[in-house]
Amino acid sequence: MQDLLKRIENKDITVGVVGLGYVGLPLAVEFGNAGIRTIGIDVNVDRVEQLNQGENYIQDVKDEELKTLVEAGTFTATTDFSSIKHIDAICIAVPTPLSKTKDPDITYILSVNKELEKYVHKNLVVILESTTYPGTTRELIQPALEASGLKIGTDVFLLFSPERVDPGNPVFHTTNTPKVIGGVSENCLKMGMAVYGHVMDELVPVSSPEAAELTKLLENTFRSINIGLANEMAIMCSKLGVNVWEVIDAAATKPFGFMKFTPGPGLGGHCIPIDPHYLSWKMKTLNYKARFIELASEVNAAMPEYVVELVGSGLNKDAKSINGSNILLLGMAYKPDIDDVRESPALDVYALLEAKGAKVNFHDPYVSEIKFDSRMEQSVDLAMDKLMDYDCVVITTNHSEYDIGAIVENAKLVVDTRNASAHITSDKVIMLGAKQ
């Protein structure tokens, strides 16, 4: 054990990262940047081939950094899990989605587990990063490691450390976001801290993997509930004829006890709409209903429908209906200036409008095409002289490159779900959360 610790401290180790997506690839690149040999493992053959040619596909990773690491041989990618045999510390960042019934889908973790069971060896540090329900690390991963007869805390070292990265955030990224970390034993924690100490500016040790698992779930449940409150406030303000954005900005001047959250067309991304359900599912197994989580989910999930109502009432003023109208959605990514459409509420708005008989197009500077059921739809050009062809333009995501002034000027009707047109006074605009 002391020998492994010394090797970690001397960077004389190979780190493995399983799952080279939004979380795993930036992490792998940071280990590489720290001068540590890094092997990325992914089941996606195309991604692995791309990476080995030095080609990047994640916005938060710098093309040049990846290329340099690949050329130097510091970072290699593979689909071959037997490389675990040559790895000293392995971080797992595979997807943890929900099933259709909103139960945790841990099949990706289980499939990595099978590989760990095959290739686990003495002096391996295993760190789960995928967001998951409390108990996963100890209940699922630990037995897979111990099946070999190796002992946790003396032969192999197991931890949970949630990834908190916020893709596209210009200030906080992998290394300067404090990293919470919880080990199954003191020795496990010591090993994990030594590994992450090479790449993270600040480590926040907690007493167990369960505490670390729950930290992540608390953070994202907190966001989901507060966004739910902002969304309900928007609906209430609209009924009262008051602008919710003004109210929120005024409340946010309070220097204590208030944190600003804003309404919108619903929740998006791989985290906030999903993670709280991992906790509520776990609590159901203990016969406890996580009421805040369920209520926030209900309010947030109804927002796309509410946006469609706003479109309907805007068209109605012109004696038109959604059925038969041409509608353009601006922004399909779930937040500005990124290319991620996972769980994006714009997808729901699109489907709901189409189900009501509208002809829907979208534009997104970061998303060239989207698969809807079995068909692909392409992003259309955003030509100002073509905006008049649409009965309504919906601002679903406020990408910073949108010239909102020009859009409002050239469109017949704008439904703004993001307060993007706050600076414009125009009776063409229907603002979510304001007097209609």
Ligand X SMILES: NC(=O)c1ccc[n+]([C@@H]2O[C@H](COP(=O)([O-])OP(=O)(O)OC[C@H]3O[C@@H](n4cnc5c(N)ncnc54)[C@H](O)[C@@H]3O)[C@@H](O)[C@H]2O)c1
Maximal C-alpha separation, the chain: 77
Q: Decide if 83 contacts 115 (C-beta within 8 A).
A: no
| CA 418 to chain CA centroid, nearest Å | 19
Closer to ligand X by CB, 345 or 433: give it: 345
Q: Which of residues 250-309 bind ligand X (CB under 6 A)?
A: 270-271
Q: Decide if 11 contacts 198 (C-beta within 8 A).
A: yes
Q: Decide if 137 contacts 206 (C-beta within 8 A).
A: no
Closer to ligand X by CB, 94 or 370: give it: 94
How many whole angstroms separate alpha carbon 307 and alpha carbon 372?
Answer: 19
Q: Decide if 27 contacts 91 (C-beta within 8 A).
A: yes
Q: Decide if 331 contacts 398 (C-beta within 8 A).
A: yes
Which range touches ligand X (CB under 6 A), out of 141-149, 163-171, 195-203, 286-294? 163-171
Residue for token digits 């799952």?
Answer: 19
Q: Decide if 148 contacts 179 (C-beta within 8 A).
A: no
Closer to ligand X by CB, 200 or 353: give it: 200
Please identify which residue in 17, 18, 212, 420 interacts with ligand X, judged by CB under 6 A: 18
Please identify which residue in 1, 34, 44, 302 interacts with ligand X, judged by CB under 6 A: 44
358 lies in the site for ligand X, by CB under 6 A:
no
Closer to ligand X by CB, 9 or 80: give it: 80
112 lies in the site for ligand X, by CB under 6 A:
yes
Find the residue with minimal CB distance to ligand X. 21
Distances (CA, A) of 82 to 65, 86, 307, 358, 373: 27, 8, 50, 52, 36
User: Which is catalytic among the residues 91, 188, 237, 271?
Assistant: 271
User: Is position 271 annotated as part of the catalytic site?
Assistant: yes
Question: What is the H or E stretch that residue 40 is in?
Answer: strand 37-41
Minimum distance from CB of 366 to ligand X (Å)? 15
Q: Which of residues 52-111 bind ligand X (CB under 6 A)?
A: 93-96, 108, 111
Please identify which residue in 28, 165, 293, 407 interacts with ligand X, judged by CB under 6 A: 165
136 lies in the site for ligand X, by CB under 6 A:
no
Closer to ligand X by CB, 335 or 418: give it: 335
23 lies in the site for ligand X, by CB under 6 A:
yes
313 lies in the site for ligand X, by CB under 6 A:
no
Dihedral, 264, 265, 266, 270 alpha carbons, nearest 10: -100
List active site positions.
Answer: 271
Binding site for ligand X (CB under 6 A): 18-24, 41-44, 47, 93-96, 108, 111-112, 130-131, 163-165, 167, 270-271
